[in-house]
Amino acid sequence: MKTVSTNKSHGGVQGVYSHESTSCNCEMTFAVFVPPQSEKQKCPILYYLSGLTCTHANVMEKGEYRAAATKHGMIIVCPDTSPRGDVVADEDVYFFGSGAGYYVDATEEPFAKHYNMYSYVTTELPSLISEHFNADMSRQSIFGHSMGGHGAITTALKNPDQYKSVSAFAPICAPSSTEWGSNAFSKYLGDESSWRGYDSVALIEDGNRVNEILVDQGDTDEFLDSGLRPHLLEGACKDAGIALTLRMQDGYDHSYYFISSFMADHIAWHAERL
């Protein structure tokens, strides 16, 4: 693991690191905020998965998470959204390929070698965090935005024992039913039957469970009906007995101006469960 940069902030250290990923077969970069408490004790970890087009840097710069992370003594880990680099198969669009890994393990060529963000987030990255930071690996939670909200909820549903809690800002709730999601899943995963393993609504229908989910969703979000569809998650959670708290936020859009407004709330909510 190489240190790209470190900056003291809110009493802790905001770092950026890179490493040769065995899951994605390329160099991956990620951000970690370490609160001051970690000098003396192991701290719980909250993973933040970002949305389409983002790297680790967007939430690091605009997410306003450090004050709350220091308040609650929490390590915040922010991976990239896809493999990167000249060796990685890509298409010249923002909704597929680089910046749009959808947190799946791809099975189809030419994507299978590199696009393994599911394994990266659930296995390789935690192992790296455990090795290099003063982290309590028995206390991990996960959240994310948009495509990263999809990633957080599916990842938690598939690994309910690994994550103590899950929340999301404006998540893509049923990617299989959307234009961009079905395009990505068909190229990464092939046959439609395999898509259900990475679709929150389908996972719940197929019996996967978490106890509760917190979702904040802006009601003027331009992607609300075309891509996010929280009512589908609401229906699935109701049928499955999952305690979904879906907060429709008046006048908020899809941007980091929205995310940062409720960031401290989400971190406090996870802290209660960690």
The residues binding a copy of itself (CB under 8 A) are 7-11, 14, 61-62, 64, 66-67, 218, 220, 251-253, 255-258, 260-261, 264
Identity of the residue, 65 or 120, whose beta carbon is nearer to a copy of itself in the bound complex: 65
Q: Which element (helix H / strand E) includes 204?
A: helix 200-205
The least distance separating a copy of itself from the CB of residue 13, rounded to whole angstroms, comes to: 9
- Catalytic pick among 146, 167, 176, 200: 146
Distance CA(75)–CA(131), nearest Å, equals: 14
Identity of the residue, 102 or 252, whose beta carbon is nearer to a copy of itself in the bound complex: 252
Is 146 labeled as catalytic in the residue annotation? yes
Identity of the residue, 10 or 19, whose beta carbon is nearer to a copy of itself in the bound complex: 10
With CA atoms as reference, report the closest residue to 51 among 215, 207, 241, 259: 259
Chain centroid, CA 212 distance in Å: 17
- Under 8 Å between Cβ of 223 and 207: no
Identity of the residue, 33 or 115, whose beta carbon is nearer to a copy of itself in the bound complex: 33
The least distance separating a copy of itself from the CB of residue 248, rounded to whole angstroms, comes to: 13
Identity of the residue, 158 or 247, whose beta carbon is nearer to a copy of itself in the bound complex: 247
Is 86 labeled as catalytic in the residue annotation? no
The least distance separating a copy of itself from the CB of residue 146, rounded to whole angstroms, comes to: 16
Distance CA(131)–CA(251), nearest Å, equals: 43
**Which two structure tokens, joined as six digits, stand for 96?**
């597929």
The least distance separating a copy of itself from the CB of residue 48, rounded to whole angstroms, comes to: 16
The least distance separating a copy of itself from the CB of residue 131, rounded to whole angstroms, comes to: 24
Work out whether strand 26-34 and strand 2-9 pair parallel, antiparallel, or are unpaired.
unpaired
User: Which residues, 6+ apart, have CB-to-CB distance to 177 below 8 Å?
Assistant: 201, 229, 232
Alpha-carbon radius of gyration of the chain: 17
- Under 8 Å between Cβ of 221 and 228: yes
- Catalytic pick among 56, 145, 221, 270: 221
Angle at 269 between CA 62 and CA 132, to 5 degrees: 65
Q: Is 63 left (phi over 0), alpha (psi -120 to 50) or beta?
A: alpha
- Catalytic pick among 145, 150, 254, 266: 254
Amino acid of residue 194: S
Catalytic residues: 146, 221, 254
